[in-house]
Structure 1
Amino acid sequence: MSAVTEPPAMDALAEAARPTAAVVRDALGVGIAVGISGTAFGVAAAGAQLTVWQTCALSLLVFTGASQFALVGALAAGAAPVAAVAGALFLGVRNSFYGLRLSERLALPRAVRPLAAQLVIDETAAVALAQPDRRSTRWGFTVTGLTLFALWNLSTLAGVLGAGALGDPAAYGLDAAGPAVFLALLAPRLREGGAERAVAGVGVALALAATFVVPAGVPVLVALAAVPLVALVLRFRARRGAGVAR
Protein backbone atom coordinates (compact mmCIF):
# COMPACT_ATOMS: atom_id res chain seq x y z
CA MET A 1 0.00 0.00 0.00
CA SER A 2 2.85 2.34 0.80
CA ALA A 3 4.22 1.93 -2.73
CA VAL A 4 0.83 2.96 -4.11
CA THR A 5 0.25 5.93 -1.86
CA GLU A 6 3.73 7.51 -1.95
CA PRO A 7 3.64 8.74 -5.58
CA PRO A 8 0.39 10.71 -5.12
CA ALA A 9 1.85 12.25 -1.97
CA MET A 10 4.99 13.28 -3.85
CA ASP A 11 2.87 14.67 -6.70
CA ALA A 12 0.85 16.68 -4.20
CA LEU A 13 4.02 18.15 -2.72
CA ALA A 14 5.30 19.04 -6.16
CA GLU A 15 1.99 20.71 -7.03
CA ALA A 16 2.08 22.68 -3.77
CA ALA A 17 5.64 23.89 -4.42
CA ARG A 18 5.10 24.79 -8.04
CA PRO A 19 3.19 28.07 -7.56
CA THR A 20 5.86 29.45 -5.20
CA ALA A 21 8.63 28.38 -7.57
CA ALA A 22 6.82 30.03 -10.47
CA VAL A 23 6.32 33.26 -8.54
CA VAL A 24 9.98 33.35 -7.50
CA ARG A 25 11.09 32.68 -11.07
CA ASP A 26 8.96 35.50 -12.47
CA ALA A 27 10.01 37.87 -9.69
CA LEU A 28 13.69 37.15 -10.27
CA GLY A 29 13.22 37.74 -14.00
CA VAL A 30 11.70 41.16 -13.43
CA GLY A 31 14.19 42.10 -10.73
CA ILE A 32 17.23 41.16 -12.80
CA ALA A 33 15.97 42.67 -16.06
CA VAL A 34 15.12 46.03 -14.51
CA GLY A 35 17.87 46.05 -11.89
CA ILE A 36 20.72 46.06 -14.37
CA SER A 37 19.30 49.18 -16.03
CA GLY A 38 20.60 51.11 -13.05
CA THR A 39 23.78 51.33 -15.10
CA ALA A 40 22.02 53.79 -17.39
CA PHE A 41 21.04 55.90 -14.40
CA GLY A 42 24.63 55.97 -13.18
CA VAL A 43 25.76 57.17 -16.60
CA ALA A 44 22.98 59.76 -16.75
CA ALA A 45 23.84 61.05 -13.28
CA ALA A 46 27.47 61.44 -14.27
CA GLY A 47 26.30 63.42 -17.31
CA ALA A 48 24.38 65.71 -14.96
CA GLN A 49 27.63 66.32 -13.03
CA LEU A 50 26.50 64.46 -9.91
CA THR A 51 29.23 62.93 -7.78
CA VAL A 52 29.51 59.21 -7.09
CA TRP A 53 28.13 59.51 -3.58
CA GLN A 54 25.24 61.73 -4.70
CA THR A 55 24.31 59.26 -7.42
CA CYS A 56 24.46 56.26 -5.10
CA ALA A 57 22.49 58.10 -2.42
CA LEU A 58 19.69 58.73 -4.91
CA SER A 59 19.42 55.05 -5.76
CA LEU A 60 19.58 53.99 -2.12
CA LEU A 61 17.13 56.53 -0.72
CA VAL A 62 14.84 57.43 -3.62
CA PHE A 63 14.80 54.08 -5.44
CA THR A 64 12.24 54.83 -8.11
CA GLY A 65 13.65 54.90 -11.61
CA ALA A 66 11.33 57.35 -13.33
CA SER A 67 11.78 59.98 -10.60
CA GLN A 68 15.54 59.50 -10.58
CA PHE A 69 15.82 59.87 -14.36
CA ALA A 70 13.50 62.88 -14.31
CA LEU A 71 15.69 64.53 -11.68
CA VAL A 72 19.03 64.03 -13.41
CA GLY A 73 17.52 64.77 -16.83
CA ALA A 74 16.21 68.12 -15.61
CA LEU A 75 19.52 68.95 -13.92
CA ALA A 76 21.43 68.05 -17.08
CA ALA A 77 19.14 70.38 -19.05
CA GLY A 78 20.01 73.25 -16.74
CA ALA A 79 16.88 73.28 -14.60
CA ALA A 80 16.91 74.85 -11.17
CA PRO A 81 17.33 72.21 -8.44
CA VAL A 82 13.96 73.12 -6.92
CA ALA A 83 12.14 72.52 -10.23
CA ALA A 84 14.02 69.27 -10.81
CA VAL A 85 13.20 67.95 -7.34
CA ALA A 86 9.54 69.02 -7.65
CA GLY A 87 9.15 67.11 -10.90
CA ALA A 88 10.73 64.00 -9.39
CA LEU A 89 8.46 64.21 -6.35
CA PHE A 90 5.34 64.51 -8.45
CA LEU A 91 6.31 61.45 -10.44
CA GLY A 92 6.92 59.53 -7.22
CA VAL A 93 3.42 60.23 -5.88
CA ARG A 94 2.06 57.25 -7.81
CA ASN A 95 3.93 54.93 -5.47
CA SER A 96 1.65 56.08 -2.66
CA PHE A 97 -1.34 54.75 -4.57
CA TYR A 98 0.46 51.46 -5.13
CA GLY A 99 1.03 51.32 -1.39
CA LEU A 100 -2.68 51.73 -0.69
CA ARG A 101 -3.52 48.82 -2.97
CA LEU A 102 -0.74 46.62 -1.66
CA SER A 103 -1.39 47.21 2.02
CA GLU A 104 -4.51 45.06 2.04
CA ARG A 105 -3.02 42.38 -0.21
CA LEU A 106 0.21 42.03 1.77
CA ALA A 107 -1.14 42.63 5.30
CA LEU A 108 2.39 42.92 6.67
CA PRO A 109 3.25 43.30 10.37
CA ARG A 110 3.67 46.90 11.49
CA ALA A 111 7.35 46.41 12.26
CA VAL A 112 8.27 45.66 8.64
CA ARG A 113 5.97 48.14 6.90
CA PRO A 114 8.50 51.01 6.84
CA LEU A 115 11.06 48.73 5.17
CA ALA A 116 8.49 47.37 2.73
CA ALA A 117 7.43 50.92 1.80
CA GLN A 118 10.89 51.54 0.34
CA LEU A 119 10.29 48.68 -2.12
CA VAL A 120 6.91 49.91 -3.38
CA ILE A 121 7.57 50.81 -7.02
CA ASP A 122 6.08 50.00 -10.43
CA GLU A 123 7.71 46.60 -10.81
CA THR A 124 7.05 45.24 -7.33
CA ALA A 125 3.44 46.41 -7.47
CA ALA A 126 2.93 44.80 -10.89
CA VAL A 127 4.33 41.42 -9.80
CA ALA A 128 2.55 41.43 -6.44
CA LEU A 129 -0.86 42.46 -7.74
CA ALA A 130 -0.73 39.80 -10.44
CA GLN A 131 -0.74 37.02 -7.81
CA PRO A 132 -3.93 35.16 -6.84
CA ASP A 133 -3.41 34.86 -3.07
CA ARG A 134 -1.68 36.57 -0.15
CA ARG A 135 1.16 34.05 0.15
CA SER A 136 2.22 34.36 -3.48
CA THR A 137 1.70 38.13 -3.32
CA ARG A 138 4.21 38.36 -0.48
CA TRP A 139 6.68 36.14 -2.31
CA GLY A 140 6.38 38.15 -5.51
CA PHE A 141 6.71 41.50 -3.77
CA THR A 142 9.64 40.48 -1.57
CA VAL A 143 11.73 38.67 -4.18
CA THR A 144 11.17 41.34 -6.83
CA GLY A 145 11.90 44.16 -4.40
CA LEU A 146 15.06 42.75 -2.86
CA THR A 147 16.50 41.57 -6.18
CA LEU A 148 15.78 44.86 -7.90
CA PHE A 149 17.05 46.97 -5.00
CA ALA A 150 20.35 45.09 -4.80
CA LEU A 151 21.03 45.05 -8.56
CA TRP A 152 19.82 48.62 -9.13
CA ASN A 153 22.24 49.99 -6.56
CA LEU A 154 25.16 47.85 -7.70
CA SER A 155 24.61 48.73 -11.36
CA THR A 156 24.19 52.41 -10.47
CA LEU A 157 27.63 52.36 -8.87
CA ALA A 158 29.07 50.56 -11.89
CA GLY A 159 27.50 53.06 -14.26
CA VAL A 160 28.67 56.20 -12.51
CA LEU A 161 32.19 54.83 -12.01
CA GLY A 162 32.40 53.71 -15.63
CA ALA A 163 31.17 57.06 -16.93
CA GLY A 164 33.60 58.87 -14.64
CA ALA A 165 36.49 56.82 -15.95
CA LEU A 166 35.70 58.01 -19.49
CA GLY A 167 36.10 61.67 -18.59
CA ASP A 168 33.56 64.28 -19.67
CA PRO A 169 30.27 62.40 -20.33
CA ALA A 170 29.11 65.06 -22.78
CA ALA A 171 32.05 64.28 -25.07
CA TYR A 172 30.57 60.82 -25.69
CA GLY A 173 26.95 61.90 -25.76
CA LEU A 174 26.31 60.26 -22.39
CA ASP A 175 24.58 63.38 -21.12
CA ALA A 176 21.61 62.33 -23.29
CA ALA A 177 21.19 59.04 -21.42
CA GLY A 178 18.82 60.46 -18.80
CA PRO A 179 16.23 61.96 -21.17
CA ALA A 180 16.54 58.97 -23.52
CA VAL A 181 15.87 56.37 -20.84
CA PHE A 182 13.06 58.46 -19.36
CA LEU A 183 11.37 58.52 -22.76
CA ALA A 184 11.94 54.77 -23.05
CA LEU A 185 10.10 54.31 -19.75
CA LEU A 186 7.21 56.37 -21.11
CA ALA A 187 7.01 54.57 -24.47
CA PRO A 188 5.18 51.45 -23.21
CA ARG A 189 2.36 53.66 -21.92
CA LEU A 190 1.77 54.88 -25.47
CA ARG A 191 1.07 51.28 -26.54
CA GLU A 192 -1.48 50.71 -23.79
CA GLY A 193 -5.14 51.32 -24.29
CA GLY A 194 -7.60 53.69 -22.67
CA ALA A 195 -6.69 56.32 -20.14
CA GLU A 196 -3.02 55.32 -19.85
CA ARG A 197 -2.29 56.03 -23.50
CA ALA A 198 -4.32 59.23 -23.42
CA VAL A 199 -2.48 60.58 -20.37
CA ALA A 200 0.91 59.66 -21.83
CA GLY A 201 0.11 61.25 -25.19
CA VAL A 202 -1.30 64.47 -23.74
CA GLY A 203 1.60 64.66 -21.29
CA VAL A 204 4.15 64.42 -24.09
CA ALA A 205 2.33 67.10 -26.10
CA LEU A 206 2.15 69.47 -23.13
CA ALA A 207 5.81 68.93 -22.23
CA LEU A 208 6.98 69.55 -25.80
CA ALA A 209 4.88 72.70 -26.12
CA ALA A 210 6.07 73.99 -22.75
CA THR A 211 9.76 73.69 -23.66
CA PHE A 212 9.41 76.79 -25.86
CA VAL A 213 7.96 79.06 -23.17
CA VAL A 214 9.13 77.88 -19.73
CA PRO A 215 12.54 77.24 -18.15
CA ALA A 216 14.19 73.82 -18.21
CA GLY A 217 12.76 71.39 -15.70
CA VAL A 218 9.31 73.01 -15.68
CA PRO A 219 7.87 71.11 -18.72
CA VAL A 220 7.67 67.90 -16.68
CA LEU A 221 5.52 69.77 -14.16
CA VAL A 222 3.32 71.11 -16.95
CA ALA A 223 2.90 67.57 -18.27
CA LEU A 224 1.20 66.62 -15.00
CA ALA A 225 -1.81 68.62 -16.16
CA ALA A 226 -2.51 65.72 -18.54
CA VAL A 227 -4.00 63.69 -15.68
CA PRO A 228 -6.88 66.05 -14.74
CA LEU A 229 -7.43 67.01 -18.38
CA VAL A 230 -7.89 63.40 -19.50
CA ALA A 231 -10.00 62.66 -16.41
CA LEU A 232 -12.35 65.56 -17.25
CA VAL A 233 -12.68 64.47 -20.88
CA LEU A 234 -13.40 60.85 -19.94
CA ARG A 235 -15.94 61.96 -17.35
CA PHE A 236 -17.67 64.21 -19.88
CA ARG A 237 -17.78 61.39 -22.44
CA ALA A 238 -19.18 58.97 -19.86
CA ARG A 239 -21.95 61.40 -18.91
CA ARG A 240 -22.70 62.11 -22.55
CA GLY A 241 -22.86 58.38 -23.29
CA ALA A 242 -25.19 57.82 -20.34
CA GLY A 243 -27.45 60.61 -21.60
CA VAL A 244 -27.62 59.12 -25.08
CA ALA A 245 -28.37 55.69 -23.64
CA ARG A 246 -31.40 57.10 -21.86
Structure 2
Amino acid sequence: MSHEARASFLTGVRLGLPYAAVGSVLSLSFGVLAREAGFTPLQAIATAMLVFAGSAQFAALAVLTGGGSAAAAVAAGTLMNGRFLAMGIALAPSLSGGAVQRGAQGQAVVDASWALANRGDGTFDRWQLFGTTAPQYVTWALGTVVGVFAGDVIGDPARLGLDAIYPTFFLALLLAELRDRRSRTVAAVGSLIALALVPFAPPGVPILAAAAASLIGLARPAGREDA
Protein backbone atom coordinates (compact mmCIF):
# COMPACT_ATOMS: atom_id res chain seq x y z
CA MET A 1 0.00 0.00 0.00
CA SER A 2 1.43 3.39 -0.99
CA HIS A 3 1.71 6.32 1.42
CA GLU A 4 -1.15 8.08 -0.39
CA ALA A 5 -3.36 5.00 -0.20
CA ARG A 6 -2.57 4.56 3.51
CA ALA A 7 -3.46 8.19 4.17
CA SER A 8 -6.76 7.82 2.31
CA PHE A 9 -7.55 4.63 4.24
CA LEU A 10 -6.87 6.27 7.60
CA THR A 11 -8.96 9.28 6.59
CA GLY A 12 -11.76 6.88 5.75
CA VAL A 13 -11.46 5.17 9.14
CA ARG A 14 -11.73 8.55 10.88
CA LEU A 15 -14.77 9.54 8.81
CA GLY A 16 -16.38 6.17 9.37
CA LEU A 17 -16.21 6.17 13.18
CA PRO A 18 -19.40 8.23 13.78
CA TYR A 19 -21.33 5.97 11.37
CA ALA A 20 -19.82 2.94 13.07
CA ALA A 21 -21.14 4.16 16.41
CA VAL A 22 -24.63 4.55 14.99
CA GLY A 23 -24.36 1.20 13.22
CA SER A 24 -23.53 -0.58 16.46
CA VAL A 25 -26.85 0.54 17.92
CA LEU A 26 -28.75 -0.47 14.78
CA SER A 27 -27.14 -3.89 14.70
CA LEU A 28 -27.83 -4.31 18.41
CA SER A 29 -31.50 -3.78 17.61
CA PHE A 30 -31.26 -6.32 14.82
CA GLY A 31 -29.73 -8.88 17.16
CA VAL A 32 -32.56 -8.45 19.67
CA LEU A 33 -35.31 -8.59 17.05
CA ALA A 34 -33.74 -11.52 15.20
CA ARG A 35 -33.76 -13.62 18.36
CA GLU A 36 -37.39 -12.66 18.98
CA ALA A 37 -38.18 -13.75 15.40
CA GLY A 38 -36.78 -17.21 16.08
CA PHE A 39 -33.23 -16.90 14.75
CA THR A 40 -30.58 -18.93 16.54
CA PRO A 41 -27.58 -16.90 17.77
CA LEU A 42 -25.46 -18.31 14.94
CA GLN A 43 -28.09 -17.49 12.29
CA ALA A 44 -28.48 -13.89 13.51
CA ILE A 45 -24.74 -13.23 13.67
CA ALA A 46 -24.05 -14.92 10.32
CA THR A 47 -26.83 -12.87 8.69
CA ALA A 48 -25.35 -9.63 10.00
CA MET A 49 -21.81 -10.49 8.90
CA LEU A 50 -22.72 -11.82 5.45
CA VAL A 51 -25.51 -9.42 4.48
CA PHE A 52 -24.14 -6.32 6.26
CA ALA A 53 -27.05 -4.16 5.10
CA GLY A 54 -29.45 -2.82 7.69
CA SER A 55 -32.34 -2.07 5.35
CA ALA A 56 -32.25 -5.58 3.86
CA GLN A 57 -31.91 -7.27 7.24
CA PHE A 58 -34.78 -5.36 8.83
CA ALA A 59 -36.97 -5.83 5.74
CA ALA A 60 -36.41 -9.58 5.90
CA LEU A 61 -37.19 -9.58 9.62
CA ALA A 62 -40.43 -7.68 9.01
CA VAL A 63 -41.55 -10.34 6.54
CA LEU A 64 -40.65 -13.22 8.86
CA THR A 65 -42.29 -11.71 11.94
CA GLY A 66 -45.38 -11.00 9.83
CA GLY A 67 -45.69 -14.69 8.99
CA GLY A 68 -44.03 -14.59 5.57
CA SER A 69 -41.83 -17.35 4.15
CA ALA A 70 -38.05 -17.38 4.03
CA ALA A 71 -38.23 -16.94 0.25
CA ALA A 72 -40.39 -13.82 0.67
CA ALA A 73 -37.95 -12.49 3.26
CA VAL A 74 -35.00 -12.96 0.88
CA ALA A 75 -36.97 -11.27 -1.91
CA ALA A 76 -37.74 -8.28 0.33
CA GLY A 77 -34.08 -7.94 1.29
CA THR A 78 -33.04 -8.18 -2.36
CA LEU A 79 -35.45 -5.41 -3.31
CA MET A 80 -34.13 -3.16 -0.57
CA ASN A 81 -30.55 -3.73 -1.75
CA GLY A 82 -31.38 -2.97 -5.38
CA ARG A 83 -29.84 0.48 -4.96
CA PHE A 84 -26.39 -1.11 -4.80
CA LEU A 85 -26.62 -1.97 -8.50
CA ALA A 86 -26.56 1.71 -9.46
CA MET A 87 -23.96 2.49 -6.80
CA GLY A 88 -21.72 -0.32 -8.04
CA ILE A 89 -21.96 0.81 -11.66
CA ALA A 90 -20.91 4.32 -10.64
CA LEU A 91 -18.05 3.02 -8.50
CA ALA A 92 -16.65 0.36 -10.88
CA PRO A 93 -14.38 2.66 -13.00
CA SER A 94 -12.61 3.81 -9.80
CA LEU A 95 -11.67 0.26 -8.77
CA SER A 96 -8.60 -1.63 -9.94
CA GLY A 97 -8.13 -5.10 -11.40
CA GLY A 98 -10.37 -7.41 -13.38
CA ALA A 99 -14.05 -8.12 -12.95
CA VAL A 100 -13.57 -10.59 -10.07
CA GLN A 101 -11.21 -8.27 -8.19
CA ARG A 102 -13.51 -5.27 -8.65
CA GLY A 103 -16.46 -7.37 -7.51
CA ALA A 104 -14.59 -8.32 -4.34
CA GLN A 105 -13.70 -4.69 -3.66
CA GLY A 106 -17.32 -3.74 -4.25
CA GLN A 107 -18.33 -5.75 -1.19
CA ALA A 108 -17.06 -2.81 0.85
CA VAL A 109 -19.83 -0.55 -0.47
CA VAL A 110 -22.31 0.69 2.12
CA ASP A 111 -24.35 3.87 1.91
CA ALA A 112 -22.19 6.09 4.11
CA SER A 113 -18.89 4.87 2.63
CA TRP A 114 -20.10 5.33 -0.93
CA ALA A 115 -21.24 8.88 -0.22
CA LEU A 116 -18.07 9.87 1.66
CA ALA A 117 -15.71 8.39 -0.95
CA ASN A 118 -17.43 10.28 -3.76
CA ARG A 119 -15.08 13.00 -5.02
CA GLY A 120 -17.94 14.88 -6.65
CA ASP A 121 -16.55 14.57 -10.18
CA GLY A 122 -17.84 11.09 -10.97
CA THR A 123 -14.86 9.30 -9.41
CA PHE A 124 -14.36 7.66 -6.01
CA ASP A 125 -11.43 7.31 -3.60
CA ARG A 126 -11.42 3.52 -3.23
CA TRP A 127 -9.02 3.45 -0.27
CA GLN A 128 -11.13 5.98 1.59
CA LEU A 129 -14.14 3.77 0.80
CA PHE A 130 -12.39 0.74 2.31
CA GLY A 131 -11.31 2.72 5.37
CA THR A 132 -14.76 4.13 6.01
CA THR A 133 -16.35 0.69 5.80
CA ALA A 134 -13.82 -1.08 8.05
CA PRO A 135 -14.95 0.30 11.44
CA GLN A 136 -18.59 0.07 10.38
CA TYR A 137 -18.26 -3.65 9.67
CA VAL A 138 -16.56 -4.32 12.99
CA THR A 139 -19.15 -2.50 15.08
CA TRP A 140 -22.01 -3.98 13.03
CA ALA A 141 -20.83 -7.48 13.90
CA LEU A 142 -20.12 -6.64 17.55
CA GLY A 143 -23.44 -4.86 17.99
CA THR A 144 -25.30 -7.87 16.65
CA VAL A 145 -23.46 -10.17 19.06
CA VAL A 146 -24.41 -7.95 21.99
CA GLY A 147 -28.05 -7.81 20.86
CA VAL A 148 -28.23 -11.57 20.42
CA PHE A 149 -26.84 -12.45 23.84
CA ALA A 150 -28.08 -9.49 25.89
CA GLY A 151 -31.55 -9.19 24.38
CA ASP A 152 -33.30 -10.18 27.60
CA VAL A 153 -31.56 -7.35 29.43
CA ILE A 154 -32.14 -4.74 26.69
CA GLY A 155 -35.81 -5.54 26.11
CA ASP A 156 -37.89 -3.89 23.38
CA PRO A 157 -35.63 -1.63 21.21
CA ALA A 158 -38.56 0.71 20.50
CA ARG A 159 -38.88 1.39 24.22
CA LEU A 160 -35.41 2.96 24.14
CA GLY A 161 -36.12 4.92 20.96
CA LEU A 162 -33.72 2.79 18.90
CA ASP A 163 -36.32 2.42 16.15
CA ALA A 164 -35.83 6.10 15.27
CA ILE A 165 -32.09 5.83 14.65
CA TYR A 166 -32.27 4.12 11.26
CA PRO A 167 -34.42 6.75 9.45
CA THR A 168 -32.38 9.50 11.12
CA PHE A 169 -29.19 7.90 9.81
CA PHE A 170 -30.43 7.96 6.21
CA LEU A 171 -31.75 11.51 6.59
CA ALA A 172 -28.23 12.62 7.59
CA LEU A 173 -26.81 11.02 4.44
CA LEU A 174 -29.47 12.67 2.30
CA LEU A 175 -28.86 16.13 3.72
CA ALA A 176 -25.15 15.82 2.95
CA GLU A 177 -25.98 15.17 -0.72
CA LEU A 178 -28.32 18.17 -1.20
CA ARG A 179 -25.57 20.54 -2.24
CA ASP A 180 -27.12 21.94 -5.41
CA ARG A 181 -30.49 22.54 -7.02
CA ARG A 182 -30.33 19.44 -9.22
CA SER A 183 -29.71 17.18 -6.22
CA ARG A 184 -32.63 18.76 -4.39
CA THR A 185 -34.85 18.27 -7.42
CA VAL A 186 -33.90 14.59 -7.66
CA ALA A 187 -34.60 14.11 -3.94
CA ALA A 188 -37.99 15.82 -4.20
CA VAL A 189 -39.07 13.81 -7.25
CA GLY A 190 -37.88 10.57 -5.67
CA SER A 191 -39.80 11.34 -2.48
CA LEU A 192 -42.99 12.00 -4.41
CA ILE A 193 -42.65 8.73 -6.34
CA ALA A 194 -42.08 6.73 -3.16
CA LEU A 195 -44.94 8.37 -1.27
CA ALA A 196 -47.32 7.79 -4.17
CA LEU A 197 -46.48 4.07 -4.30
CA VAL A 198 -46.32 3.25 -0.57
CA PRO A 199 -50.11 2.75 -0.10
CA PHE A 200 -50.41 -0.08 -2.63
CA ALA A 201 -46.95 -1.27 -3.81
CA PRO A 202 -45.15 -4.25 -2.21
CA PRO A 203 -42.43 -3.40 0.35
CA GLY A 204 -39.21 -2.30 -1.32
CA VAL A 205 -40.80 -1.40 -4.66
CA PRO A 206 -41.38 2.31 -3.79
CA ILE A 207 -37.67 2.70 -3.00
CA LEU A 208 -36.60 1.09 -6.27
CA ALA A 209 -39.09 3.12 -8.29
CA ALA A 210 -37.96 6.32 -6.60
CA ALA A 211 -34.45 5.66 -7.88
CA ALA A 212 -35.78 6.50 -11.36
CA ALA A 213 -35.58 10.14 -10.28
CA SER A 214 -31.80 9.88 -10.56
CA LEU A 215 -32.22 9.85 -14.34
CA ILE A 216 -32.67 13.61 -14.04
CA GLY A 217 -28.92 13.71 -13.48
CA LEU A 218 -28.35 12.53 -17.06
CA ALA A 219 -29.64 15.82 -18.44
CA ARG A 220 -26.86 18.26 -19.31
CA PRO A 221 -27.11 21.56 -17.40
CA ALA A 222 -28.24 24.48 -19.55
CA GLY A 223 -25.44 26.36 -21.23
CA ARG A 224 -22.93 23.54 -20.80
CA GLU A 225 -21.37 21.80 -23.78
CA ASP A 226 -19.09 18.81 -24.07
CA ALA A 227 -15.46 19.68 -24.59
Q: Same fold (TM over 0.5)?
A: yes
2:108 is paired with a residue whose SS is: coil
Output the CA distance in 1 between the equivalents of 2:128 and 2:92. 14
Aligned to 2:185: 194
Aligned to 1:27: 12
Equivalent residue in structure 1 for 2:26, among 34, 40, 43:
40
Structure 1's unaligned 5+ residue stretches are 1-16, 239-246
Q: Which moved more, 1:61-70 or 1:107-116?
A: 107-116
TM-score by length of 1: 0.64
| Cα gap change, 1:89 to 1:133, in 2 (>3 Å) | closer
Equivalent residue in structure 1 for 2:144, among 153, 156, 164:
156
Q: State the shift of 1:46 in Å.
A: 2.2
Matched letter for residue 44 of structure 1: F
Q: State the shift of 1:160 in Å.
A: 2.6
Aligned to 1:184: 168
Output the CA distance in 2 between the equivalents of 1:124 and 1:173. 27
Deviations 1:20-65 (A, max 9, x none): 64x3454113322222323322323422423322221122111122
TM-score by length of 2: 0.69
Task: Give the root-mean-square deviation of aligned CA atoms.
Answer: 3.9
Contact 2:57 2:77 in 1 (8 A): yes
Higher helix share: 1
Contact 2:83 2:208 in 1 (8 A): no
Output the CA distance in 2 between the equivalents of 1:161 and 1:119. 27
Number of aligned residue pairs: 207
Output the CA distance in 2 between the equivalents of 1:46 and 1:85. 19
Aligned to 1:119: 108
Structure 2's unaligned 5+ residue stretches are 179-183, 220-227
Q: How does 1:14-93 map to 2 (within 5 A)?
A: 21=7, 23-36=8-21, 37-48=23-34, 49=37, 50-93=39-82
Q: Which moved more, 1:181-190 or 1:24-33?
A: 181-190
1:83 is paired with a residue whose SS is: helix
Larger radius of gyration, structure 1 or 2? 1
Matched letter for residue 52 of structure 2: F
| Cα gap change, 1:105 to 1:75, in 2 (>3 Å) | same
